[in-house]
Homo-oligomer: A and B are copies of this chain.
Amino acid sequence: MTLEEILAQFKDGQLDIDAAATAVRASLTQDLGHTVIDHDRERRTGAQEVIFGEGKTATQISDIVAAMLEHGSNVLVTRLDQDKHVALTNLPTGASYHAQSRTLVCMQTPKPKPATPIAVVTAGTSDIGVAEEAALTAEFFGNEVERIYDVGVAGLHRLLGRLEDLRRARVLVVVAGMEGALPSVVGGLVDKPVIAVPTSIGYGAAFDGVAALLGMLTSCASGVSVVNIDNGFGAGFLANSINRL
């Protein structure tokens, strides 16, 4: 039951005050013992609860997925390792798993699609895993995504050859490891918000993404903001949030 239905039943006398209070609480958050699902999040913050798979057991994830499907929600699980995915036996047909980005999507209700695309751009081939997490997240929330991959700054002509695609997007997610210079260059070429995602691609002084993170934070281009290393989900989520304004 939604909150509105509960309140109506309470007014009609179908529910007494104790039953109504219990129902209201359950409609907002659901306590699974290990996890408190926030069913009210979409109303409050504009986007529903998403399951972060890392650090949870397959059993815990399975419980949460079941509860959310039961509640009628769409389900997005990020950072879901292959072996945990295999252990999830309660998935509906239609659930799709994307191995490289470790992302699971079960759509029950499609979302209305904004008219403008989101661009997801990578510096290299190895950044695609993180980029796909961003792209799939943005698509989960109903957006059209333009993928522009392997256009790093060491071969500028590759990037300049896609300038038109870059400029058509309403918001850009730019994913890069190593020195992370791509968002600075893209930021100087477009007039739209750029969400920079450092990746842990690289070795040595790349320090698992720290070099790229620092480079993006200190970018000489304006209009660039940064999310955590490898946080494709966060970038896709924010891109949706901006695209829907």
Residues of A near any B CB (own CB < 8 A): 25, 28-29, 33-36, 38, 40-41, 44-47, 50, 54-56, 60, 79, 123-126, 128, 149-158, 161, 170-171, 178-181, 184-185, 187-193, 195, 198, 200-231, 233-235, 237-238, 241-242, 245
Contact = CB atoms under 8 A, between A and B. Distances in A.
A226 to B, nearest CB: 5
B222 A180 contact: no
Contacts of A36: 149-151, 155, 158
Given A218-B178, A218-B206, A153 B184 contact: yes
Given A191-B47, A209-B204, A228 B220 contact: no
Nearest to A147: B33
A47 B223 contact: yes
B181 A184 contact: yes
17 contacts: A45-B191, A55-B124, A153-B185, A153-B188, A154-B184, A178-B218, A179-B179, A179-B220, A181-B215, A202-B218, A203-B229, A204-B209, A211-B211, A217-B226, A222-B237, A225-B234, A226-B227
B230 A203 contact: yes
Contact of A161 (B29, B55, B184, B195): B29
Contact of A44 (B150, B191, B211, B233): B191
The 3 closest A-B pairs by CB, nearest first: A46-B191, A204-B229, A55-B126
Contact of A128 (B34, B124, B150, B204): B34
B179 A29 contact: no
A241 B33 CA distance: 28
A223 B241 contact: yes
Given A29-B155, A47-B222, A157-B28, A179 B188 contact: no
A123 B46 CA distance: 22
B205 A56 contact: no
Nearest to A25: B161
A172 B164 CA distance: 30
